[in-house]
Amino acid sequence: MRKAWLLLVVGLVSILVLAGCGTKSKEDVTKSLGAKVEEMKGYESNAKMTLQTGAEPQVYEVEIGHNKPNYYRVNLKNAAKDQSQIIIRNDEGVFVLTPALNKSFRFHSEWPQNSSQAYLFESLVNDIKNDPDATFTATEDNYVFETKTNYQNNKLLPTQEITLSKKDLSPVSVKVMDPDKKPLVLVEFSDFKFDASFDADAFDVKKNMTGARLELPTSGSVSEETDNSFTVMTPLDTPAGTELKEQADVKTSNGNRVVMTYEGEKTFTLIQEKSRYAEIPTATFVNGQIADLGYTMGALTENSLTWSYQGVDFTLASKDLSQEELMMVARSMQGATTK
């Protein structure tokens, strides 16, 4: 009997020791994440990104590919609105492709290292490592961190909840939240694969443009449209004390151009016109930085912001607005009337 009790006590102690060994701390997981980034050759994944920043949710399919050290390809598709953009980084620079217009824009940019990126694994790891006040919890299957974000020109999304799989530390989901902890961006990952292999031309701009063009619908594309009408958009967020003073409709050789002038404490001009399809693939160098508006990518300079969305080109210009305010106005654009 005494021997049986001894064996039982030893067994219980062993179980407790093993259980303790299996519990990882915030520091343990953070260290493992850093090692994972160092050791991996890259990755590829699919994700669903839901934006809650407008009147109704917008859902994007995101295809992500990364080959170390500096090759990236992010394909964002909004199936409901029949539009897509591709971000590519290779040895030649950073490019934003708009296949429906047969156009690409080239940037001298540090993207993606210069800002948080909710769909890039190493960016999430950096945010975890760089926030000493990050909170950490463990569930049965996952590790969950809540950290500060590092979004340039956007203080409206200060925190994020990052969920990682215990199995291999791959990302499960990311919730980017406003100051009231309301999720405005949700990224849900699937088919995440570390050390993925890529074709030699997987990050080539021309190849990606050609492939994306082949996937476009055969009817209703920008190139075939003869109707010059478009939906005029108005911003829901403007600086306090600033309001629409005048809206002018200007006839041009390419159709209608709508010029909105906002006046008050801070003035700005918003120009909208129908996007033009390029019969020959067009690549334009942009002397600015990539601007992530959530629903599309744009080009940001000191005094202006340009972007294309749903077949319309937008130009927002001001000597009074900061870059953060330019981004705020652009992110809040909503449909209004048809021109």
pLDDT in tens, 14-24: 444 444 445 79
Span 229-239, pLDDT tens digits: 888 999 988 99
Q: What is the pLDDT of residue 229?
A: 80
Confidence of residue 334 (pLDDT cuts 50, 70, 90): low
pLDDT of residue 17: 41
The length of the chain is 339
Is residue 220 predicted with pLDDT exceeding 50? no
For residue 143, the model assigns a pLDDT of 98
**Does residue 219 have a pLDDT over 50?**
no
Higher pLDDT, 101 or 252: 101
| Structure confidence at residue 22 (pLDDT) | 58
pLDDT score for 277: 86
Helix 26-39 to helix 121-129 angle (10° resolution) is: 140
How far is CA 196 from each of CA 63, 64, 120, 122, rounded to the nearest angstrom? 13, 11, 14, 15
pLDDT of residue 21: 47
Mean pLDDT of the chain: 87
HSE-up of residue 28 (Cα within 13 Å, Cβ side): 9
Which tens digits make up the pLDDT trace of 122-149? 999 999 999 999 999 999 999 999 999 9
Instruction: Write down the pLDDT at residue 79.
Output: 67
Q: Quick one: pLDDT band at residue 9, thresholds 50, 70, 90?
A: very low
Question: Cα 10 to chain center, whole Å?
Answer: 53
- What token pair was written down for 85? 């953009």
Q: What is the pLDDT of residue 295?
A: 83
Q: Is the pLDDT of residue 225 over 80?
A: no
Q: Is the dihedral of CA 43, 153, 233, 317 positive or negative?
A: negative
Positive/negative CA dihedral, 29, 148, 304, 51: positive
Q: What percent of the chain has pLDDT over 70?
A: 87
pLDDT of residue 255: 80
Answer for the pair 71, 219: CB distance below 8 angstroms, yes or no.
no
Residue that is written with structure tokens 């309001």 in the block: 243
SS3 of 296, please?
coil
One-letter amino acid identity for 202?
A
- Please state, for a pLDDT cut of 90, what percent of the chain lies above it: 66
From first CA to last CA, the distance across the chain in angstroms is 92
Distance CA 154, CA 293 (A): 10
Omega within 30 of 0 (cis) for the link into 217: no
- For residues 183-209, one letter each, b for 16 or more C-beta atoms within 10 angstroms of the residue's C-beta and e for the rest, the string is bbbbbbbeebebebeeeeebbbbeebb
pLDDT of 147 reads 98
Q: With 80 as the cut, is the pLDDT of residue 13 above it?
A: no
Q: So what's the pLDDT on residue 83?
A: 77
Specify the residue for token string 């005048």: 246
pTM metric for this prediction: 0.85
**Tens digits of per-residue pLDDT, 31-68?**
999 999 999 999 999 999 999 876 678 899 999 999 99
**Helix, strand, coil: what percent of the chain each, to 5?**
20, 45, 35
Q: Dig out the tokens for 118 from the structure.
A: 């909710």
In this structure, the dihedral spanned by the alpha carbons of residues 311, 313, 316 and 322, taken in order and rounded to 10 degrees, is: 70
Task: For residue 106, give both structure tokens.
Answer: 């080239």
